[in-house]
């Protein structure tokens, strides 16, 4: 079966005692590597950093997307670009007053520019710089806190963004992130999402054997979206 949704794997969730194997295995199969960068301030938890990014870049061939859940992300763009990230995705509310400056910084570093929005953040806040973006990440839950139930209203938000993308003749990716699991794939694809971020509920929790867990993820995405048409 064809897999209609792209997968961005949250590789910071990998078993550190099996890290190289899991990174290499995922790199052969995923569309993106997703790096959750957290500082304990913008969100209340911590994630991976530039050292982790640099440690895996030598064995990663797929795009590495640094999801910057941090305050003052513009201070660290060059750090993560030098560490190997090829896509940089700060949060819209943090860069609100310097959005175009930040996007230009990202592109001057030779990276693709994304932006992430928490559920309460309106699409209107990014409307006028959408033409400069390569990706918009819509959070299905508040960033940085695991185990939250998905906010179902985000399907409508995705559809609204997909229609706006079409109306403006743009081609940025629409990514859905947060509490991802197989019950969401059909609705996300129908709404207009192009890519989903796979963390523990979507991947690692599938099976103790990592390679089997990955195959379950692939099968779930393909099966759940089979025959589903875009609905926006």
In order of their start, the domains of the chain are 6-191 (3.20.20.70)
- What pLDDT does residue 146 have? 77
> Is residue 25 predicted with pLDDT exceeding 70?
yes
Alpha helix positions (H), 5-98? 19-27, 50-57, 77-83
Chain segment 14-24, per-residue pLDDT in tens: 999 999 999 99
- What pLDDT does residue 86 have? 98
pTM of the model: 0.95
Mean pLDDT of 159-181: 97
Contacts of 220 (CB under 8 A, 6+ apart): 182, 185, 202
- What pLDDT does residue 81 have? 99
CA 25 to chain centre: 19
* Cα–Cα distance for residue pair 147/181, rounded to 1 Å: 11
Question: Phi/psi class of residue 97: alpha, beta or left (left: φ > 0; alpha: ψ in -120 to 50)?
Answer: alpha
The band of 175, judged by pLDDT with boundaries at 50, 70 and 90, is: very high
- What pLDDT does residue 1 have? 62
Residue with structure tokens 């590597």? 33
Chain segment 57-93, per-residue pLDDT in tens: 999 999 999 999 999 999 999 999 999 999 999 999 9
Handedness of CA 47, 214, 184, 149 (dihedral sign): negative
Q: What positions carry a catalytic annotation?
A: 36, 177
Cβ neighbours around 7 below 10 Å, total: 22
Share of the chain above pLDDT 70, in %: 99
- What pLDDT does residue 143 have? 86
Q: Which residues of 130-158 are buried (b: 16+ CB within 10 A; e: fewer)?
A: bebbbbbbbbbbebbeeeeebbeebbebb
Mean pLDDT of 44-53: 95
Chain segment 98-155, per-residue pLDDT in tens: 999 999 999 999 999 999 999 999 999 999 999 999 999 999 998 877 778 888 999 9
Using DSSP's 3-state secondary structure scheme, residue 46 falls into strand
Both tokens assigned to 13: 């969730």
The band of 32, judged by pLDDT with boundaries at 50, 70 and 90, is: very high
């Amino acid at each position: 079966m064809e897999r209609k949704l792209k997968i961005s794997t949250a590789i910071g969730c990998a078993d550190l005692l099996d890290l190289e194997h899991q990174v290499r295995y995922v790199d052969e199969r995923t569309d993106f590597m997703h790096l959750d960068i957290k500082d304990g301030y913008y969100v209340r938890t911590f994630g991976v950093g530039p050292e982790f990014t640099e440690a895996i870049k030598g064995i990663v061939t797929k795009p590495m997307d640094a999801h910057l859940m941090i305050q003052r992300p513009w201070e660290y763009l060059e750090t993560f670009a030098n560490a190997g990230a090829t896509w940089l995705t700060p949060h819209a509310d943090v860069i609100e007053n310097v959005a175009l400056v930040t996007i230009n910084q990202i592109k001057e570093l030779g990276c693709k520019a994304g932006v992430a929005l928490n559920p309460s953040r309106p699409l209107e806040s990014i409307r006028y710089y959408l033409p400069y973006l390569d990706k918009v990440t819509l959070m299905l839950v508040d960033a940085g806190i695991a185990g939250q139930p998905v906010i179902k209203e985000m399907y409508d938000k995705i559809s609204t963004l997909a229609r706006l993308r079409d109306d403006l003749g743009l081609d940025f990716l629409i990514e859905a992130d947060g509490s991802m699991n197989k019950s969401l794939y059909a609705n996300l694809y129908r709404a207009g999402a192009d890519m989903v971020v796979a963390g523990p509920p979507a991947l690692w929790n599938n099976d103790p054997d990592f390679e089997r867990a990955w195959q379950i993820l692939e099968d779930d995405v393909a099966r759940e979206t089979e025959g589903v048409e875009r609905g926006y």
